[in-house]
């Protein structure tokens, strides 16, 4: 089994792959003060929870947007496998053509997501990742990554409004109003967060279509994708584990011969 780790600002998504099949997907908290030994114990418990702790781990693939966390998780995984552990970054073979000015500054989670999208969906393509930040990643008709946009995330925007205004409360996004005519402040905040994000996606896709010369395939991923997708007018594909699948593919490109 191959372990893939997508380390985000708030949580780490863990996936276990048997070939191309995902055996499990789990989430654990991102805690930079935790040690590799502590995370090794957490990962062992995750494997036991999903009843795969008897499966040999052939290696692991890691992407991270949190400085230092990739190496902490690498140490943790060393307690669980002797196989190759790949941290996606400079030097990793991805097969992805990056046509941007500063490739090293691109988040490796976005690289992993783009790798899978470029090999799976019709091009051109726009990946919209609705996480702590909402990111748009554009792939041209050849599958090359040609540009991106970064927007404050759905929940992050609400937190900012609460912290920087005197009277706007925190709200839950579980009960989304049926239309945009909010009847109170809580509904107005929810509408702005959900309908506003959906409208932003629709508008950005139209701009990307102009820039790319064709209507792109739109792939939604990230923790808020399922909540926002019903309100997006554009036809979309929802792939919640896009980065994990890309991580598995990158690992195979770099290390598959070593474990045969």
- Whole-angstrom Cα distance, residue 126 to residue 225? 14
Instruction: Indicate the angle between helix axes 185-212 and 154-164, nearest 10 degrees.
Output: 130
State the CB neighbour count (10 A cutoff) for residue 140.
Answer: 20
Helix-then-strand count for the chain, H and E: 7, 10
Give me the residue label for tokens 């706007």.
168
- Provide the token pair at 144: 């090359």
CB-CB contact of 131 with 8 (8 Å):
yes
Tokens 């926002």 correspond to 228
Q: Annotated catalytic, 21? A: no
Q: How far is CA 246 from the centre of its chain?
A: 10
Q: Pick from 76, 72, 52, 56: which is nearest to 64 by CA?
A: 72
Catalytic residue among 6, 20, 21, 109: 109
Mind telling me the catalytic residues? 109
């Amino acid at each position: 089994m191959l372990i893939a780790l997508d380390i985000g600002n708030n949580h780490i998504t863990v996936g276990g792959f048997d070939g191309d099949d995902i055996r499990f997907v789990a989430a654990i908290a991102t805690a930079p003060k935790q040690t590799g030994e502590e995370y090794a114990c957490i990962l062992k418990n995750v494997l036991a929870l999903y009843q795969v702790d008897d499966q040999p781990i052939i290696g692991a693939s890691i992407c991270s947007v949190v400085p230092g966390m990739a190496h902490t998780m690498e140490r943790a995984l060393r307690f669980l496998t002797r196989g190759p552990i790949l941290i996606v970054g400079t030097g990793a073979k991805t097969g992805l053509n990056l046509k941007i000015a500063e490739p090293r500054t691109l988040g490796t989670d976005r690289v992993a997501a783009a790798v899978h999208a470029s090999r799976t969906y019709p091009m051109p393509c726009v990946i919209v990742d609705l996480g702590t930040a909402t990111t748009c990643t554009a792939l041209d008709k050849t599958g090359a990554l040609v540009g991106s946009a970064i927007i404050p995330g759905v929940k992050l925007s609400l937190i900012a409004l609460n912290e920087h205004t005197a009277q706007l409360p925190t709200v839950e996004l579980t009960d989304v109003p049926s239309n945009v005519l909010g009847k109170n402040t809580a509904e107005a905040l929810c509408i702005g967060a959900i309908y506003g994000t959906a409208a932003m996606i629709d508008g950005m896709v139209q701009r990307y279509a102009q820039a790319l010369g064709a209507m792109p395939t739109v792939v939604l991923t990230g923790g808020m994708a399922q909540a926002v997708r019903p309100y997006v007018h554009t036809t979309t594909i929802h792939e919640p584990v896009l980065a994990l699948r890309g991580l598995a593919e990158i690992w195979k490109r770099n290390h598959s011969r070593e474990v045969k």
